[in-house]
A = this chain, B = another copy of it.
Amino acid sequence: MASAEFWYEFASTYSYPAALRVAALADERGVNLLWRPFLLGPIFAAQGWRDSPFNIYPAKGRYMWRDLERTCKAMGVPLKRPEPFPQPSLLAARVALALEGDDRSAFSRRVFAAEFGQGLPIGDRATLGALLAACGVDSAAAFERAESGANRALLKAETARAAEIGVIGAPCLVTQDGEVFWGNDRLEQGLDWAAGARVGDVV
């Protein structure tokens, strides 16, 4: 079965619609989807950015919020801008990484829906605990695994791997043969590629 990695960051606005869309798109194409939470912070820091580029470049930020508004409206999902933006996403990423399989994807979708659909503070343990419970996951055990030294190290390693394979933003779809497709609007193209319809293959 063809597989593809879905790299996402909980603070990333376009990861929200992507996380809600990607599973159905992968299923339609028979692609096994691997959910890969990571942190954009270190990747942005390597480019000299200490904040979201949408804050550093206000014109780009204004464009993004309007564009996201159109995207969410077209999908029929709510959009409520969280304050502050970006939200602290470290704990959510650790928790997601500590979960496996469907628990990870279900929890991740709920985090995005809470953050950008309801404007809830996803840096708060209480918010995340409630989302874990809603997924039927024991939140105390999940937090313990999430904050273990091994899981913290794994998130660092995953983030380093993201940078290494060319993940320059979030979300990204990465195929087994190493192609990177950046953006919510490139999910279909990336999954088509993963499924074998390699229009544009120039190798």
Where the two chains meet, the residues of A that have a C-beta atom closer than 8 Å to any C-beta of B are 47, 57, 59-60, 62-63, 66-67, 69-74, 163, 166, 168, 179-182, 185-186, 199-202
Contacts and interface: CB of A to CB of B under 8 A. Distances in A.
Contacts of A163: 59
Nearest to A203: B69
Nearest to A200: B70
Contact of A63 (B60, B73, B180, B185): B180
Contact of A182 (B57, B63, B181): B63
- Copy number in this complex? 2
Nearest to A198: B70
Contacts of A180: 63, 66
A61 to B, nearest CB: 10
B200 A73 contact: yes
A186 to B, nearest CB: 7
A182 B59 contact: no
Given A59-B47, A69-B200, A202-B73, A185 B182 contact: no
20 contacts: A47-B57, A47-B59, A59-B163, A59-B166, A60-B168, A66-B179, A66-B180, A67-B181, A67-B182, A70-B199, A70-B200, A70-B201, A70-B202, A71-B200, A72-B200, A73-B201, A73-B202, A74-B199, A74-B200, A185-B185
